[in-house]
Structure 1
Amino acid sequence: MEVWGITHRGVVRQQNQDAFSARTMDDGRVIALVCDGMGGARAGNVASAMAVDLFMDRFLRESGDDQERMQRAASQANQEIFQKAATDEDCTGMGTTLVAALAGAGEAVILNEGDSRAYHINGDGIVLITRDHSLVEDLVERGELTREQARTHPHKNLITRALGAEPVLLADCFRQPLAQGDFLLLCSDGLSNLVTEQEMLYEVIHGGDSESCPQRLLDIALHRGAPDNVTAVLIRC
């Protein structure tokens, strides 16, 4: 397992409120997560950084069932962000998305809250694993918007769930089979709003070496004006 990641504030934003972490564990598996903060000039940055640090610290200290480890790590991060938002005036209303993946031989366990995404990519194509917790995704599922209309909808950034928004976390969990040569791509909406799935597929499979793929994806977003922060983490089996 190998992993590479990149984050950038984009062209418009003055501050990067995205955060990520990725590491290869002693058993060879990779644990990685991407968080996209919200809640004002300072607070979004605080929420995403807290989520990354708290999740990784708790997850790496524990053992046992992988899904339960991830859920406990995310729940602790949620509780501490919620508490800080409730007690620190500068952080009122803050929160963050979270998408995390634990990838090993044969399978990945993926956890998500908000609209940061996880994709499974191989020579057969690209599949979105996670479901956005967002207003436009709800409209798409009800048949009120097409997928293409959702990409340009004025409220596409309104999320319905986030770490720190509620005292109890209700994150979704997925199990994704993995084969040798498969990839997982984790990203914030600063990437997925500007780079199409077909472009992601091309860059991962055909665009060049895997190590530089996150930079290539970032470059596409920057070329298109990158109005939001951009983060991409690529895991190769």
Structure 2
Amino acid sequence: MKNLYLNYTKLEIRGVTMDFIISFNSDKGTVKSTNEDSLCIKQINIDDKHIVLCVICDGMGGLECGEKASKIAVEIFSKWFDDNLDFIKNAFTDNQIINELRCLINRINKCIYTYGQENNVKLGTTLSSILIKDNKYYLSHIGDSRVYKISDKILQLTVDHNLAASNINNSKNIKKYSNILLQCLGQTKEIEPMFLVGQNKLHDVFLLCTDGLIHKFSDYNLYKVFNYKRLKNESEIQKQIMKSINLVKKRKENDNITVCVISCI
């Protein structure tokens, strides 16, 4: 987990009906000297609500620039969560939360873009996040990190904002264009992130990962490794995470690899 910027909070106030097991790990990979990924995890039990936040970012720009971009994104998202916990807990409508997330993502983009302009550097980061409030989740996403929902099947909730996804009907170009991002935070003033609202149930699993995991790992293999039957406790989840990271490293993956798993119990 060398050099990974991690922001982790767990607070227990009262028990709730649905609980979550969360585990994560990160590796700089087989080639890079630094880890440009950043990760934020918040797990709060308060009154009758259980709230979980996971944010995963893959920085780009090389060395300190990539680290800086992903760290800025995670720090701002983390502070927003801490400052707005009452709002998150008491929000009446999905639109209220999505509108807040939209403003937040645009603010993060502006901060990273301004930093690049003021320091004459090019930097950016992907961002994929999931905010869970009991049996409902709110997803924010830009870039090519991914969020999956795994139950009796595996479903990719996010859309890859890269050239490969836009050329999906031309299979010969998918590998060639997979590293060319069409959208990320910090590169342009205007962005079009995606947002999604959905419901989760007992035994659902959410998998968040940077693209270092998925270059060498099919969705079928992800399902085999991360389905609920294999994730009964935190120790087992961590075992499966390390299994997946070590496997892609053996397959010569050269990017940073960060994985976070949330199991609904």
The unaligned stretches of length 5 or more in structure 1 are none
Separation in structure 1 between the aligned mates of residue 196 and residue 255 of structure 2, nearest angstrom: 27
Counterpart residue identity of residue 11, structure 1: T
1:12 aligns with 2:31: yes
Equivalent residue of 1:42, what SS? helix
| 2:249 alignment counterpart | 222
After TM superposition, which residue ranges in structure 1, 4 or more long, deviate above 4 angstroms? none
- Deviation per CA, 1:53-92: give whole Å up to 9, x if none: 1111123312243222322322221111010011113xx1
| 1:73 alignment counterpart | 104
Which has the higher relative contact order, 1 or 2, with Cα contacts under 8 A spaced 6 or more apart?
A: 1
Corresponding residue to 2:158 among 115, 130, 141: 130
1:95 aligns with 2:124: yes
| 2:80 alignment counterpart | 58
Corresponding residue to 1:84 among 115, 124, 141: 115
Range moving further from structure 2, 201-210 or 165-174? 201-210
TM-score, normalised by the number of residues in structure 1:
0.90
The unaligned stretches of length 5 or more in structure 2 are 1-19
- Deviation per CA, 1:97-150: give whole Å up to 9, x if none: 00000123322111100001010001x11011110000010000xx2237xx62
1:44 aligns with 2:66: yes
Separation in structure 2 between the aligned mates of residue 154 and residue 18 of structure 1, nearest angstrom: 23
Separation in structure 2 between the aligned mates of residue 22 and residue 32 of structure 1, nearest angstrom: 5
Counterpart residue identity of residue 52, structure 1: V
Structure 1 residue 207 displacement after superposition? 4.4
1:118 aligns with 2:118: no
Corresponding residue to 1:33 among 36, 55, 60: 55
Structure 1 residue 190 displacement after superposition? 0.3
| 2:42 alignment counterpart | 23
Equivalent residue of 1:12, what SS? coil
Number of equivalenced pairs: 228
Counterpart residue identity of residue 9, structure 1: K
Structure 1 residue 7 displacement after superposition? 1.2
Q: Percent identity?
A: 23
Separation in structure 2 between the aligned mates of residue 103 and residue 225 of structure 1, nearest angstrom: 34
- Deviation per CA, 1:188-222: give whole Å up to 9, x if none: 10001111111111111254622433222212112
